[in-house]
């Protein structure tokens, strides 16, 4: 059960990274600071986090982690600026 808790905390932390990137990427005030070309790194970082999250979820199932995806895809959470 300690392993389940560790997976859930890990998923929550990765989700928070993803949510933070989205907040920065979608904030119109931040978008005004740099041209789109200069913000490309944020988009790539977001794609990397998404790819990592998918891979980690697969590994969680392979290694006997929780039988659900709630830690990777929390319900009821809304990204806000």
pLDDT 10s digits, 22-68? 999 999 999 999 999 999 999 999 999 999 999 999 999 999 999 88
> From CA 6, how far away is CA 3, in angstroms rounded?
5
As to burial, measured by CB atoms within 10 angstroms (0-12 exposed, 13-18 middle, 19+ buried), residue 54 is: exposed
Does the pTM exceed 0.85? no
Domain locations in the chain?
2-62
At 48, is the secondary structure helix, strand, or coil?
helix
Which positions ≥6 away from 26 have C-beta within 8 Å? 79, 81
Which positions ≥6 away from 33 have C-beta within 8 Å? none
pLDDT at 71: 86
pLDDT at 80: 52
């Amino acid at each position: 059960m300690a392993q389940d808790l560790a997976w859930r905390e890990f998923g929550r932390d990765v989700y928070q990274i993803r949510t933070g990137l989205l907040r920065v990427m979608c904030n119109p005030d931040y978008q005004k600071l740099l041209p789109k070309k200069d913000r490309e790194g944020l988009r790539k970082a977001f794609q990397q986090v998404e790819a990592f999250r998918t891979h980690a979820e697969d590994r969680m199932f392979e290694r006997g982690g929780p039988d659900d995806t709630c830690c990777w895809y929390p319900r009821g959470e809304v990204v806000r600026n």
